[in-house]
Amino acid sequence: MLRGGLMAVLLLVAGSLAASEPSPEDRAALQALVERSDAVWNARDANGMAALYSANATLRIIGRDVAVNGASAIHDYFTRSFAGLEPGMRHSTRLTGLHPQSDDVVLADAHVRLIRVDADGAETLVREFTTLTVAVRDGKQWRLSAVRAVALPRAQTQTPGTSTVGN
């Protein structure tokens, strides 16, 4: 058992060393995946969201007791989640790191913000998450295989008329 675990760690480390930086094409494709994720979330498109995931993907939101397995269950989760969203909620993701594990597997770090946009255009930061995602190459495109989102402490309430959103 110990030998098998050690071998898995060695293979993971060897893969990490062999693929230290994604190619410019892969970097652009992974950034496009992040942008599509925000776009379909903001459109409340559960079908589009599920299409970004591999068939056997997993989604966990730590701190919210969310554990979903498989693209079909992920679709159902987003269908329910989107139905309960208040109007004006937006999803904004900033990719903060890409760590190739092999030519077809990348570990991605990101920071996600949920923002409420009021009718007058005022924005309020509602919630933030840090995410760790495994993306896998599926033919010519990348898909989400494992997403782990950790809710950060809630944003502080701001004085009316001031924005809590900044870069």
Domain count, the chain: 1
In-domain check, residue 39: yes
What would the pLDDT profile of 78-125 be if each residue is shown by its tens digit? Answer: 999 999 999 899 999 999 999 999 999 999 999 999 999 999 999 999
In-domain check, residue 134: yes
The answer, yes or no, to whether residue 157 has pLDDT greater than 90, is no
* pLDDT confidence band for 162 (50 / 70 / 90): very low
* pLDDT confidence band for 163 (50 / 70 / 90): very low
In-domain check, residue 2: no
Q: Are 106 and 100 in contact (CB under 8 A)?
A: yes
> 51: how many CB neighbours lie within 10 A of its CB?
14
| Per-residue model confidence (pLDDT) at position 19 | 58
CA–CA separation, 60 vs 147, rounded Å?
6
Q: Residue for token digits 């495109």?
A: 141
| Per-residue model confidence (pLDDT) at position 154 | 75
Domain extent for 136: 20-151
CATH code for the domain of 45: 3.10.450.50
In-domain check, residue 167: no
Amino acid letter, residue 27: R
In-domain check, residue 4: no
Lowest mean pLDDT among 28-32, 151-155, 163-167: 163-167
Can you tell me the mean pLDDT for 117-138? 95
**Residue 42 is encoded by which pair of tokens?**
């903001």
In-domain check, residue 166: no
In-domain check, residue 6: no
